[in-house]
Amino acid sequence: MATLFFAAALYFFLAGTLGMLRFPDVFCRLHALTKADNLGLGFTVLGLMILSDSWQSAARLLLTWLLVMLSGATVAHLVSRKALRDGITPWRKP
């Protein structure tokens, strides 16, 4: 079961990387990375929780994932805000 979670995590990490390389501007790239990395880390944590030997280590893993989700969203917001203030305009479909 843990292997399935790790495979799902790999899929989301690869999708986020592909989005970073393919999307046209900083805002789209941040969106792809934030969403995909949070999901990838979530699946990794679920796989590790299955393999953990105690509920304390599983709780620590879950807490770590929650803190990373909060900090990732905050950093993405700050980077987007700075990009807007620097005059970078969001991409529009031509």
Q: What is the pLDDT of residues 13-54, one digit of tens each?
A: 999 999 999 999 999 999 999 999 999 999 999 999 999 999
Distances (CA, A) of 73 to 44, 53, 56, 69, 91: 18, 30, 26, 6, 20
Structure tokens at 82: 């700075």
DSSP 23: -
Smallest Cα–Cα separation from 68: which of 39, 29, 25? 39
Q: What is the pLDDT of residues 2-14, one digit of tens each?
A: 999 999 999 999 9
Global confidence as pTM: 0.86
**Sequence-ordered list of residues with C-beta below 8 angstroms from that of 66, at least 6 positions apart, any chain:** none
Residues 25 and 30: their CA atoms lie apart, in Å, by: 9
